[in-house]
Amino acid sequence: MSAVADRPPFLPWNRPAIGPEEEQEVLDTLRSGWLTAGPKAVRFEQAARDDLGVEDAFAVSSCTAALHLALLAAGIGPGDEVITPSFTFCAVPNTVLQVGAAPVFADIEPTGLNLDPVKAAEAITGRTRAIMVMHYGGRPCDLAAFRKLADDHGLLLIEDAAHALHAWRDGVRAGSVGDLAVFAFYANKVITTGEGGMLVGRDDLVQRARLLGRHGIDSSVWQRHGTRSTAAYEVTVPGLKYTMPDITAAVGLQQWYKLPAFTEARARIAAVYDRELAGLPGLHLPAVEAGVEHGRFLYPVLIDPAPARSRDSVAEALREVHGIGTSVHFQPVHRLAAYRHVQCHLPVTEHAAARQLSLPCYPAMTADDVQRVLGALHTVWF
């Protein structure tokens, strides 16, 4: 059909799946006359709260905003330590430093690449206030172990569920166990609103975060004054502006409804990769243990360095020769300039970080796209 010169278009590592439902909801918002945080944000929060069975939810401008608010609401600050993996996105330790606390990096487990509960326990000191777990690629970490660890030591458990909006472990949903949990809706996430995030969890903490994320304007004081006049508001704490506008929430609401379908689509692609990539020498595929309903945000493979190929040479060949995008999750944070002062010994993180590559795995991919990735990988290997 196509001429030899017709190279297929670049297949990106990820691409949003937006349909007429999102378009309609945004139009409805634009025409309603209410553009900033309002009824659509409330509906989005309700959908998340009901699905997760959490006490409260607050839709915010990004997952980073949710992380920042989580730490502020918990009163974490100077002198405090927060245990986190280094094998995560920089937003986590960045916000820890922003509130004046110190990130403490603990190592991950080799199979799931999630924070290792044993290593986290070893990292607890008299200054530790919270454990910030992350569900790598959509595969929930050992939530039961971390809940117990946090309770035994009187620590806060915060789930970075940026990758795990629709994932379970032993029947328990990611994002529903921590005192607080955060979700991400950036353009290349599980679902997207362009930019956006959500903070969910304990009533008292989310209420505090809501106050802090709305300038510190105490609307209950405002209501007590018995007037809706804007001159009557009270600021009880110096806050920030982190709310999610309704134009954004309109997209998020419709994307949220599509979570089950998106997970199914990703799981189908992952099953094809599992089958067709098994046995390639030096290529390790993501294993899923019993009891895990994987959110399948990432399809992360590990590529052993060898004279014939390395992670970087495979990524380059896919991009330059085959026009296929991949991504690396993550550059370990302790290797980034702002964090090189942090003392840590993380052999499992180092091992994974040198090998990890994320293959395209998202609902907007066609069956042909998947075959294209497989064909390219087989060409690269043999």
Ligand X SMILES: *Cc1c(COP(=O)(O)O)cnc(C)c1O
Which residues carry out catalysis? 189
In the complex, what is the shortest distance from the CB of residue 324 to ligand X, in angstroms, rounded to a whole number?
Answer: 21
Cβ-based nearer residue to ligand X, 101 or 184: 184
Cβ-based nearer residue to ligand X, 183 or 273: 183
Q: Give me 42's structure tokens.
A: 């409330």
Which H or E element spans position 352? helix 347-353
In the complex, what is the shortest distance from the CB of residue 230 to ligand X, in angstroms, rounded to a whole number?
Answer: 30
Which residue of the chain is nearest ligand X when measured via CB? 63
Residues 6+ apart with CB under 8 A from 316: none
Question: What are the backbone angles phi and psi of residue 161, rounded to the nearest 5°?
Answer: -100, 30
CA 6 to chain centre: 37
In the complex, what is the shortest distance from the CB of residue 236 to ligand X, in angstroms, rounded to a whole number?
Answer: 27
Beta-bridge partner residues of 58 = 199
Q: Cα(228)–Cα(140) distance, rounded to whole angstroms?
A: 44
C-alpha triplet 127, 342, 66: angle, nearest 5°: 65
In the complex, what is the shortest distance from the CB of residue 74 to ligand X, in angstroms, rounded to a whole number?
Answer: 17
Q: Cα(96)–Cα(81) distance, rounded to whole angstroms?
A: 8
In the complex, what is the shortest distance from the CB of residue 105 to ligand X, in angstroms, rounded to a whole number?
Answer: 14
Cβ-based nearer residue to ligand X, 194 or 291: 194
Cβ-based nearer residue to ligand X, 40 or 329: 329
Residues that bind ligand X (CB under 6 A): 62-64, 88-89, 91-92, 134, 160, 162-163, 184, 186, 197
Cβ-based nearer residue to ligand X, 57 or 134: 134
Q: What is the DSSP string of 62-125?
A: -HHHHHHHHHHHTT--TT-EEEEESSS-THHHHHHHHTT-EEEEEPBPTTT-SBPHHHHHHT--
